A and B are shown apart, each in its own frame.
Chain A
């Protein structure tokens, strides 16, 4: 007879997929709040509006590419991912809820991985789709697929970094904001080669896949970007896992 009076089986370690999905669903549920969705959707709407105005530009494809690079990859994607990524685990730390998840026979890598996936699940549709729509609205359909890929991979990379930041820093949003504004939007443009050390630089490289457009910020080949951006996400996830494993839980 169990303590609860139920005929429960003796606890075993849960199947990795079962526990991962449970964590993913929990974090996704916490991520999806009306203010967040409205805030990010409003930024996405601005991107589409910029695309509409780009239609009247002499070179709509170039204008759409510049808009996706500067507003989409420089503002929309990082800010949306910052908002959700830092809060994915950061809110659990802040609200002292991590104790309920830590004290379970679940591999430590699962929570950060679920946080990255939950963040990407919300951010990609809310940012990549409006950016692709922005290109279409500008009459530059060729840019749309590149914008979609660039935004999705940038969101993945930022998600890894910001989930780790949420575990690392108390006020991760402010640290992240400084990173986005100063590093990603100032340092990336400051010197030749600096773009290689930024997410926006590599994401912009993917925009080069679109025909007949020039990319202002170019960290390297688009092919390399497909490796570097997921690698940044993996690095962020590993750092978050390491931190989660080592930290005292409050």
Chain B
């Protein structure tokens, strides 16, 4: 998918744990810039990331980072920075000690200075003497990012890095990731939040149920998703009258009655349906007890993309 020379390549990669297949026959390559790995929880994103970093051996297929096997070649780990999904950090350490440890183990000449700079980069105070358990979830998340970037890696693998951050912190880190990508680094970010991915970058890999469901430009994927029919569940005392009126107006393209009160409406324009629903109900003297979009969650989006 990358126009430039690929830096991370996965070829027919599968990973299974006993009978459970976590990743199935995934092939892609990623070059410089920000690439988002999008998928619902349990899609296999973290397992894929662990294989990209060499932390886990593929059951089948090959992974290459800068042309080398990250599992066998400890040297290539110098070029990788990882923000793992887990929240745990070394509790006896301060943020600076934690990041300096990473710098020291990467062989930097001045680990303390590098740690200070990395912490400032993520908006944290390097002189803060509190130990990590005293930090909020968002602060710990930023410390994890700092330890990943402290050695200036060519490849950054970020597993749900925006979790626990407030909107301002998210915006700052998104800007940082975009800058790192624009400077020629290969930044791969996983997320299960669509809007987050939209802000991160234009290249996406979509994983669902361990498989690569889609790959390419996010705008194309977004268009595809905006185009999909949506299903709305309405509970009312006059479902038949309401269904007839909405079909007549063309705001619903399909209806299904479920019992005496529940109506499921298919629409291609959820916004138009939402605008039409209340006036139509008023005209028909119908009471609306509940209006719920079905299939609007990420799982539904992925199902649609996969089915296409």
Q: Which A residues, 86 to 115, have Cβ-Cβ distances below 8 Å to chain B?
A: 95-97, 99-108
Report the Cα distance A105→B180, complex, angstroms.
22
Q: Which of B86-94, B192-200, B227-235, B237-245 contacts A (4 or more CB under 8 A)?
A: B86-94
Q: Which B residues, 42 to 66, have Cβ-Cβ distances below 8 Å to chain A?
A: 50, 53-57
Report the Cα distance A10→B110, complex, angstroms.
11
Contact A4 B118 (CB under 8 A): yes
Contact A96 B84 (CB under 8 A): yes
Contact B110 A8 (CB under 8 A): yes
**Given the complex, which residues of A lie within 8 Å of B106, measured CB to CB?**
11, 14, 104-105
Contact B117 A14 (CB under 8 A): no
Report the Cα distance A107→B73, complex, angstroms.
10
Contact B74 A30 (CB under 8 A): no
Report the Cα distance A7→B208, complex, angstroms.
41
Give min CB distance, B2 to chain A, whole Å: 20
Contact B55 A248 (CB under 8 A): yes
Q: A96-B86, A249-B50 are in contact. Are A14 and B105 (CB under 8 A)?
A: yes
Contact A104 B109 (CB under 8 A): no
Report the Cα distance A105→B104, complex, angstroms.
10
Report the Cα distance A2→B152, complex, angstroms.
6
Q: Does A190 contact B (CB under 8 A)?
A: no
Residue among B53, B75, B109, B120 making CB contact with A105, cutoff 8 Å: B75
**Given the complex, which residues of B lie within 8 Å of A2, measured CB to CB?**
117, 152
Q: Does B121 contact A (CB under 8 A)?
A: yes
Contact A11 B54 (CB under 8 A): no
Q: Does A34 contact B (CB under 8 A)?
A: no
Q: How many residues of A contact B (CB 8 A)?
A: 37
Q: Which B residues, 112 to 157, have Cβ-Cβ distances below 8 Å to chain A?
A: 113-114, 116-118, 120-121, 146-147, 149-153
Q: Does B293 contact A (CB under 8 A)?
A: no
Give min CB distance, A205 to chain B, whole Å: 39
Q: Does B183 contact A (CB under 8 A)?
A: yes
**Given the complex, which residues of B lie within 8 Å of A103, measured CB to CB?**
53-55, 77, 80, 82
**Given the complex, which residues of B lie within 8 Å of A9, measured CB to CB?**
108-109
Residue among B88, B105, B114, B117 making CB contact with A97, cutoff 8 Å: B88
Contact A5 B120 (CB under 8 A): yes
Q: Does A191 contact B (CB under 8 A)?
A: no
**Given the complex, which residues of A lie within 8 Å of B90, measured CB to CB?**
26, 30, 97, 100
**Given the complex, which residues of A lie within 8 Å of B150, measured CB to CB?**
4, 8
Report the Cα distance A23→B55, complex, angstroms.
19
**Given the complex, which residues of B lie within 8 Å of A248, measured CB to CB?**
50, 55-57
Which 10 pairs between the two chains have the least Cβ-Cβ distance? Answer: A6-B117, A14-B107, A104-B105, A2-B152, A248-B56, A249-B55, A4-B118, A96-B86, A11-B151, A12-B107
Q: Give 6 A-B contacts (CB < 8 Å), ordered by A residue.
A: A6-B118, A18-B104, A97-B89, A102-B55, A105-B106, A106-B105
Chain B residues within 8 Å of A, Cβ to Cβ: 50, 53-57, 74-75, 77-80, 82, 84, 86, 88-90, 92-93, 101-110, 113-114, 116-118, 120-121, 146-147, 149-153, 180, 183, 185
Known: A3-B152, A11-B153. 14 other contacts (CB 8 A): A6-B116, A6-B118, A11-B107, A14-B105, A14-B106, A22-B104, A30-B92, A97-B88, A97-B90, A99-B82, A100-B101, A104-B102, A104-B106, A107-B74
